[in-house]
Amino acid sequence: MKESMASERETFDCRDIFASTLEEMAAEDPRICAVVNDAVGSTKLGGFRRRFPERFVNVGIAEQNMVGASAGLASGGMIPFCCGASCFLTARAMEQVKVDLGYARNNVKLCGMSSGLAYGELGPTHHSIEDLAWTRVIPNLSVIVPADPVETRSALLWAREHDGPVFLRLSRMPVPRLFPEDHRFIPGQAPVLREGGDLTIFVNGVLVVRALQAAERLSQRGMEARVVNMSSITPLDREAVLRAARETGAILTVEEASIYGGLGGAVCEIVAEEHPVRVRRMGVPGVFAPTGSEAFLLKHFGLTAEGIETAAVDLLRSRRAP
Amino acid sequence: MTMPETTATEDLQYRLRETAQWVRMQALQMVHHARIGHPGGDLSATDILVTLYLGVLQIRPADPAWPERDRFILSKGHCSAALYATLAATGFIAEHVLGTFMDPLSILNGHPDRNKVPGVEANTGPLGHGLPLATGTALAARMRKEAWRTFVLTGDGELQEGSNWEAALCAAQYGLDNLVLIVDRNRIQQGDFVDKIIRMDPLADKWRAFGWQVAEVDGHDYGELLHALGSTPSVSGKPTCILANTVKGRGVSFMQNNPKWHHHIPSDSELEQALAELKGAAV
């Protein structure tokens, strides 16, 4: 990737930086291996397979064995990156994630590709909007939703160093570069991307750019939104949530996931217990999505700059109401 | 000169019999103490466990994390009492710890936890996890060019879990001849005889069809177990499946081959009778 590319309009499929970073790490560290469920193309691991065939395991269409064997590889001293479409990787192998990774603390890096609504028209079978709720309740499992190529790379480098299971939730939707090259992902730290005192927007993944655009539009209408990148779902930056509650008094959560149990749920748990303020959660509101492309569905569920702006205005209005 | 070798084997078999008797008695006392557990499976798996730990596995009880050790995964994690007693007999844990089986805050949970108990390689309990894990450790040995082997023990009812067959395909595809599956084939699962729930026979044919090398042994005959486990990998490029025919509740007349004793707890007098029968058996 060229350094000169940081134009606002240029967008990136984060799977590319994922694949190149994984190859780079494998070249440096003989313990790194990749495990896939036949999805070599959609995980973009063709290059890895060519360069490191002896460290590439394709288990076929068999996710329970994919996660179980990854745990075995980890207990045998390897650092497996276990890659597949997020919908199958999590749902199909959830007990292996719970027992073989979380409970047994095996050092496996789960890489859930094409998460959220990325599969669009393929429908709710292929959407992965439940994965955050499922993984967030597993002790010892770090859950990360990077926002751009820089953060994706940084999160991967961190995952390699971290001795414990990690769920990296990646997308295929092109996103602009948001962070400078020297940005470092730090677990449990939610960087403030934009300051503001009227409300706080907690957001992650492919929707961060839309939340920033919404904040610009709000600013033009005289409302200043703080935008916080909550890529680290577990561990969660409690202080960032409490600061938001205390200092801005209203919170909007925005995620390409079910509004139940993910980022929105996590924020509400802290706010309700420690500093109750008005919260509104944006995401998929407890329904299976209708047919449509990812772009269509994001618009359908209000997950656009305009939709986030409207929700923010509503939130501020309801807060002022008696 | 075969004479000393024969004597060594006889000595080992005597030691296995003696240890197995002790493990069976311990396991029943542990289950009786905890008022919860799985005595039937403990008793069917004991001879396999003891043979592995005393006669087959390259392990160092004083150094449980020795990197070159053979890996053993107890997939049927509900038979933890027999495993813990075997670990005590081998020196991985102190004998007195067995008395805390399933007590509040004991390291000896109802199902084994590798982060708490020295010598335990995997957290098992839900069935169908061991073989995928073992497939992974066998792959790791190959990637690291290490000579250690992986052994995994499942039940026969447990093979109804589909994850086993995902791993069976994978292990054969990758030619994992450093992997040995032992099936504790006692023909009884929680609810009834395996045949009456979901039939697994012809089991040897299934494993052969999946590309595995298959051997069938009497799972209570130390000579047969030692021969089968000691001669693996028997075929280069193939994983091995050893079907160990066993009797659930082995060694206690009223528990033997009776589905009730999958997880029934002996009363005081039943325990007394069971221990007397085990003690009275010739070593």
CATH classification of the domain holding A202: 3.40.50.920
Residue A306 structural domain: 192-320
Q: Which residues of A21-35 are buried (b: 16+ CB within 10 A; e: fewer)?
A: bbbebbeeeebbbbb
Domain boundary among A176, A207, A233: A176
B136–A71 C-beta distance less than 8 A: yes
pLDDT, one tens digit for every residue, chain B (283 residues): 444 566 778 899 999 999 999 999 999 999 999 999 999 999 999 999 999 999 999 999 999 999 999 999 999 999 999 999 999 999 999 999 999 999 999 999 999 999 999 999 999 999 999 999 999 999 999 999 999 999 999 999 999 999 999 999 999 999 999 999 999 999 999 999 999 999 999 999 999 999 999 999 999 999 999 999 988 777 899 999 999 999 999 999 999 999 999 999 999 999 999 999 999 887 6
Structure tokens at B157: 């009812």
Question: What is the rounded CA–CA span in Å between residue A12 and residue A2?
Answer: 12
Contact B122 A105 (CB under 8 A): no
Closest CB to B163 among A60, A65, A105: A65
Question: Which among A31, A64, A96 is the top mutation candidate for probing chain B, defined by the most B β-carbons within 10 Å of its own β-carbon?
Answer: A64
* CA distances (Å), origin B260, targets A189, B160, B263: 54, 20, 7
Q: Which of B132, B141, B143 is the closest to A64 by Cβ? A: B132
Is B257 near chain A, with CB under 8 Å?
A: no
- B137 in contact with chain A, both atoms CB, cutoff 8 A: yes
Q: Which of residues 57-76 of B touch A (CB under 8 A)?
A: 67, 71
Query: How many domains does chain B fold into?
Result: 1
A227 shares a domain with A153: no
User: Of A122, A150, A176, which closes a domain?
Assistant: A176
Q: Is A65 on the interface with B (CB under 8 A)?
A: yes
- b/e burial code for range B222-255 (CB count within 10 A of at least 16 → b): bebbbebbeebbeeeebbbbbbbbbbbbbbbeeb
Of A111, A110, A101, nearest in space to A75 by CA: A101
d(CA A295, CA A175): 13
> Alpha-carbon distance B40 to B262, whole Å?
5
Q: Are residues A35 and A153 in the same domain?
A: yes
CATH number of the domain encompassing residue A54 = 3.40.50.970
A196 lies in the same domain as A153:
no
Confidence (pTM): 0.95
Close Cβ partners of B228 (under 8 Å, ≥ 6 residues apart): B215, B217, B242
A225 and A168 together in one domain: no
Which residue does chain B place closest to A59, by CA atoms? B170
Instruction: Please report whether residue A182 resides in a domain.
Output: no
Q: Which residues pair with A80 in a beta bridge?
A: A33
Within 8 A of B128 by CB-CB distance, chain A residues are: 64
Owner of token pair 């029943």: B28
3-state secondary structure A76-89: CCCEEEEEEEHHHH
| pLDDT of res. A8 | 57
Collapse the DSSP code of B95 into the 3-class scheme (helix H, G, I; strand E, B; otherwise coil) and give the result.
Answer: helix
Judge whether residue A2 has pLDDT over 60: no
More confident residue, A111 or B5: A111
How far apart are alpha carbons B228 and B36 in whole angstroms?
33
> CB distance from A165 to chain B under 8 Å?
no
SS3 (DSSP) at A128: strand
> Within a 10 A sphere around the Cβ of B99, how many other Cβ atoms?
14
Is A183 inside any structural domain? no
Nearest-neighbour CA in chain B from A33: distance (Å):
9
The minimal CB distance from B121 to the residues A65, A68, A75 is found for A75
Residue A140 has pLDDT above 70, yes or no: yes
| Type of residue numbered A233 | I
Name every chain B residue with its beta carbon within 8 A of the beta carbon of A103: 113, 123
**β partners of residue A56:** A34
Q: Quick check: B193 contacting A, CB < 8 Å? A: no
Q: Taking the CA of residue A315 as centre, how many other CA atoms within 13 Å lie in the half-sphere pointing to its CB?
A: 25
Tokens of residue B41, six digits: 């499976």
Binary contact (A75, B173; C-beta < 8 A): no
Q: Does the beta-carbon distance from A65 to B121 stay under 8 Å?
A: no
pLDDT for position A321? 58
- SS3 track for A235-297: CCCHHHHHHHHHHHCEEEEEEEEECCCCHHHHHHHHHHHHCCCEEEEEEECCCCCCCCCHHHH
Residues on chain A touching B137 (C-beta within 8 angstroms): 72-73, 75-76
pLDDT exceeds cutoff 50 at A4: no
Distance from CA of B182 to the nearest CA of A (A): 17
A185 inside domain: no
One-letter amino acid of A292: G
A105 contacts chain B (CB < 8 A): yes
- Tell if the CB–CB gap between B136 and A70 is shorter than 8 Å: yes
**Residue B171's closest chain A neighbor by CA?**
A59
* Angle at the Cα of A307 from the Cα atoms of A304 and A310, rounded to 5 degrees: 150
**Are A10 and A142 within one domain?**
yes
The pairing of strands A225-229 and A232-234 is: unpaired
Model confidence pLDDT, tens digit, residues A9-22: 799 999 999 999 99
ipTM value: 0.95
* Whether residues A32 and A172 fall in one domain: yes
CA–CA distance, B155 with B188 (Å, rounded to integer): 9
Size (chain B), residues: 283
pLDDT band at A3 (very low <50, low <70, confident <90, very high): very low
pLDDT value of residue B4: 56
Structure tokens, B196: 């009456």
What's the CA dihedral at B46, B51, B57, B60 to 10 degrees? Answer: 70
Based on the domain organization, do A86 and A208 belong to the same domain? no
Question: Is the CB of residue B221 less than 8 Å from the CB of residue B227?
Answer: no
Residues A29 and A140 both lie in one domain: yes
Q: Cβ separation of A59 and B166 shorter than 8 Å?
A: yes
Q: List CB contacts of A315: < 8 A, sequence separation 6 or more.
A: A199, A250, A252, A278, A280
- Chain A residues whose CB is inside 8 A of the B124 CB are 99
- Burial class (CB within 10 angstroms; exposed 0-12, middle 13-18, buried 19+) of A119: buried
A198 and A166 in a common domain: no
Mean pLDDT of A113-133: 97
What is the CATH number for B144? Answer: 3.40.50.970
**Is residue A5 packed enough to be buried (19+ CB in 10 Å), middle (13-18) or exposed (0-12)?**
exposed
- State both tokens at B99: 């008395």
Q: Chain B: nearest CA to A283, how far in angstroms?
A: 33
Residue A285 lies in a domain: yes
The shortest C-alpha distance from A57 to chain B (Å) reads 9
Residue numbers in A near B114 (CB within 8 A): 75, 104
Is A157 found in the same domain as A47? yes
**Domain hosting residue B65, numbered range:** 3-280
Sequence-distant (6+) residues with CB within 8 A of B221 are B47
Mean predicted lDDT score pLDDT of chain A: 95
Looking at the fold, whether A204 and A147 belong to one and the same domain comes out as no
Contacts of A87 (CB under 8 A, 6+ apart): A114, A115, A119, A125, A126, A127, A128, A131
Question: How close is the nearest chain A Cα to the Cα of B8, in Å?
Answer: 33
Q: Establish if A186 belongs to a structural domain.
A: no
Decide: A39 and A19 in contact? Cβ < 8 Å.
no
Looking at the 3D structure of chain A, how many domains does it have? Answer: 2
Interatomic CA distance for residues A134 and B75, integer angstroms: 25
Average pLDDT score over chain B: 95
Running DSSP on this structure, what letter comes out for residue A116? B
